A and B are shown apart, each in its own frame.
Chain A
Amino acid sequence: MNEFLQFTLGGVSFGMVYAAIALSLVLIWRGTRILNYAQGAMAVLTTYIALTVINHTGSYWAGFVAALAAGLVLGALIERTVIRPVENRPPLNAVVVTIGLLVLIEGVVGIIYGGQYRSFPAAFSVTGLHAGSVPLGISRNDVFVAAAVLVVALALAAMFRFTSAGLRLRAAAFNAYAARLLGVRVGRVLTLGWALAGLIGALAGLLVSPDTFLYPSSMDSIFVLGFTAAVIGGLDSPVGAIVGGLILGVALNYVAGYLGSNLVLIFGLIALVAVLMIRPSGLFSVSHGRQV
């Protein structure tokens, strides 16, 4: 029973990271109908930037802020330079371009920082917490991970709901043509969407790297699991992304705990295929005629 509790709580912490990646994918998907396969690689780059800043200033939080800012800029930059030309092309063009970005960024990171595994500091203590004498299987840092993603998700929801930029984002995603007629600068709004997605991806990179170590392809498996979480939740739904991430995180932590960590990705693959076969629009999405 103790074990079960530990696996569940640990899974929540992982699940929130998947949720963050899923959230960034959903943000871009809603605006541009593009899946950003480079999201993981972008997070690797921003996390390396954080590591550099931390090593120079000695402050974790300076690196934290630097990575988030870098994510914001990187997202906007990528949208403006290489995504804009493929936005209204057949979907495969965008797939190939973002895959190209994925390897380009990983290659560049490898050239600059080398391929060796580096440890990345955690924000808070990683020693396990206890409730009385019962070990909970999570640390202060795990609590921070879950809280950070939750705060960002709530801030994002508030922005969408209460600010005029959020209204424009929703309008552009709902009907770009009508939004344009009503005076929304759709191009700028899409750039903003990519920038915000870059920020959330950067957050995911910062949060997961203490667990996975940092190397050029360290986010590959996190990214595919985040993608799975997004599909579980339905690619259109931010709430679905969070719930999908939590479900996947907890389920895969049971797999890792009871069956062995090598099987995590295989079960992720099975979950992805199962969802796509049975309910391709995801658990939280309104169904359309053909979406997949």
Chain B
Amino acid sequence: MTLLRHLVAAVVAGAVIWALSVQLNAFRDFQMAEIAVYVVAIAGLSLLIGLSGQISLGHGAFMAVGAYTAALLMLHLNWPLWAVFPASAAVTAAAGAVVGLAAARLSGPYLAGATLMLAVALPSLAFQFPGVFGGDQGLSVTVTTPAALGATFPPTRWLAWVCALAALITLVILANLARSRVGRNWRAIRDDPVAAALSGLNVGALRVLAFIVSAACAGLAGAMLAITTSLVSPGSFTLSLSIALLAGAVLGGLGTLTGALWGALVIVLVPTYVTDVATSHGFSGGVAANIPIAAYGVVLIVVMLIFPQGIQGGLRRLARQFMPTPPTHLGPPGRRPPARSDEDLDSPYRRPPVSEHQEEGTS
């Protein structure tokens, strides 16, 4: 049932994206591809933090692994896209397994520090081995639009289609995973590792698995970014990328896939808009480029202090206020079970507030 519902949602979303993409100009198509990239990366990160309770500040580094893998496969082996994407995800998943093995023993601040170091350190490998990774210049990637679409078909639209399709497939897989036994187990180890271990769950293995899944998403996103920007260079995978992903995940609402979409929309559209406004008001390019970075900081602080459940949490609260009691429950009349929509994966930062349940129960 769940699988069917997610598939239907994906098909509907695909139709909407297709309809949008043919209306939009080349730049907007490019932005659509970018949004798809960030949705995948943020969804993976959001799942890791929100469901398994582990933080990573190094997802930009995982995206770099995926992007370089994709670039090398396409440059040297001429692999087609449908093979490059899974291969990049697989290679990055392996990297994620290594990091995850180390991470499973660490908690909170230590894990954050170690992954932060990963994000800062990894790009320097590109400088150490310029023969393989192209050094500062990076590697350039070209994707040919299929001949069947005609010679005049805009290449960015093809990229938007490819990226959107990859994103939709990933989201369906993640949505099902989150609703599955594995997803429930992740929530169990997040809320109380000791209780979960007593119930027979292998806490370490589940933590590593979460890292693998999350890294695979980041790797796929990296490969998508490589073909979208047609360039893979160390400058694209700085610490700010990792933090932008974190800001997107926190802003959208940790642990929710819809939240990942909100996060990605903000991360892609707002900086472009702000930079446009700033340059048109006569600020220099350097200033304009730094405004989004400062804004990510404000977002992280304000969301964490004021509404830790992010946009999706806020929307859900609104929906709960304005929508009548769902008719499906079988409790006594006038009483509602604790409101919990299908996608409610909770945030580790705030347990469902007790008072809210009581109010609902007595209303």
Contacts and interface: CB of A to CB of B under 8 A. Distances in A.
A6 interface: no
B172 interface: no
Contacts of A285: none
Given A100-B301, A221-B120, A266-B124, A111 B294 contact: yes
A228 B49 CA distance: 23
| Chain A CB within 10 Å, residue with most, of B49, B108, B117 | B117
Q: Which of A102, A107, A115 has the most CB of B within 10 A?
A: A107
Contact of A269 (B118, B246, B292, B300): B118
Contacts of B325: none
Contact of A276 (B102, B239, B290): B102
B127 interface: yes
Contacts of B57: 99
Interface string B291-309: 1111111111100110010
A132 interface: no
B103 to A, nearest CB: 9
A82 interface: yes
A110 B124 contact: no
A262 interface: yes
B108 A95 contact: yes
Given A96-B246, A266-B121, A268-B117, A260 B128 contact: yes
Given A37-B112, A95-B112, A104 B243 contact: no
A179 B304 CA distance: 29
B243 A102 contact: yes
B295 A107 contact: yes
A104 B246 CA distance: 14
A73 interface: no
Contact of B106 (A95, A221, A280): A280
Interface stretch (A56-64, A85-93, A137-145, A147-155): A85-93
A268 B112 CA distance: 15
A106 interface: yes
Contact size range, A? 35 or more
B109 interface: yes
A136 interface: no
A228 B113 CA distance: 8
A240 B287 CA distance: 40
A110 to B, nearest CB: 3
B114 interface: yes
Contacts of B53: 92
Given A103-B293, A228-B117, A92 B108 contact: yes
14 contacts: A35-B113, A85-B305, A91-B109, A94-B109, A100-B297, A103-B247, A103-B297, A107-B296, A110-B293, A115-B289, A220-B120, A221-B120, A265-B121, A266-B125
Given A103-B243, A110-B293, 13 more contacts: A92-B348, A93-B308, A99-B246, A100-B296, A100-B301, A100-B304, A103-B240, A107-B292, A231-B113, A262-B125, A266-B122, A268-B121, A276-B106
Interface of B: 49, 53, 55, 57, 102, 105-110, 112-114, 116-118, 120-122, 124-125, 127-128, 238-240, 243, 246-247, 250, 284, 286-287, 289-301, 304-305, 308, 348-349
